[in-house]
A = this chain, B = another copy of it.
C-alpha cells in the first residue's frame, strides 16, 4: 500500500510563505510540527528522552512501524531552498545518522550513486515517480511505501492517483498564505477511515481513489 502522511495547517497549507534556509517551511510554519516533536515515540526514535504519550505518539509509531520504504523529493532530502540545491552531490540536511533506518528513494534530475548514512540508504531516482515506486515497492518487503514529502512529491503522487491512504495531521494554526496541499491535484474520491486527536493535532485518515 502507498501511504501519504502529511501535516497541514487548519487553512490547508503544508508550508507558509517566504521559505528561507533558517525557516525552510516558511513564516509561521514551525507550529505545524509541534505535535510531532512533542510525541514520545518521535523523541524516542530520534534519541531523545521524554515526550507525551498521546494519540500523536501512537499515530507516529504506527506509521513508522508499518512503513518499509520511503520516497521523498529532492528538496526534502537536501533541506529546502539553499546552497544544497545547486550542488547535486551535496549531502542532505539529515546529518550522519538520518532517522529513517529504511530504504529512502529520492526523486531528482541528477544521477548519483546511493548514499549510505548510518542505517539509512538514500537511492537517487531520475526516472520519475513510477520508477521510484517500483524500486520502493521491491525494497519495502511487503510493508507500506510512504511518500515522505515535500509538497511537490506529495502532489505528484496524489495527482497521479498513486496514493492508497492519506493521513492528514491537521495542526491548529493558520498560516494565511503558503503552499496549499491540494493545489493542482485535481478531483479525488476520499473515504474517511479514522480520526484521532490530541490537544496538538487532529489526525484524519482517508482511503483515496481517483
Contacts and interface: CB of A to CB of B under 8 A. Distances in A.
Interface of A: 10-12, 168, 170, 172-174, 176, 180-182, 185-188, 190-192, 194-202, 204, 206
A176 B170 contact: no
Nearest to A182: B11
Q: Which 3 A-B pairs have the closest CB atoms?
A: A172-B190, A195-B197, A12-B12
Contact of A192 (B12, B172, B190, B192): B172
Contacts of A198: 192
Contact of A172 (B176, B182, B191, B202): B191
A182 B176 contact: yes
Given A174-B182, A176-B182, A192 B202 contact: yes
B191 A174 contact: no
B192 A174 contact: no
A185 B174 CA distance: 9
Contact of A206 (B172, B176, B180, B181): B172
B186 A176 contact: yes
Given A174-B188, A191-B172, A202 B199 contact: no
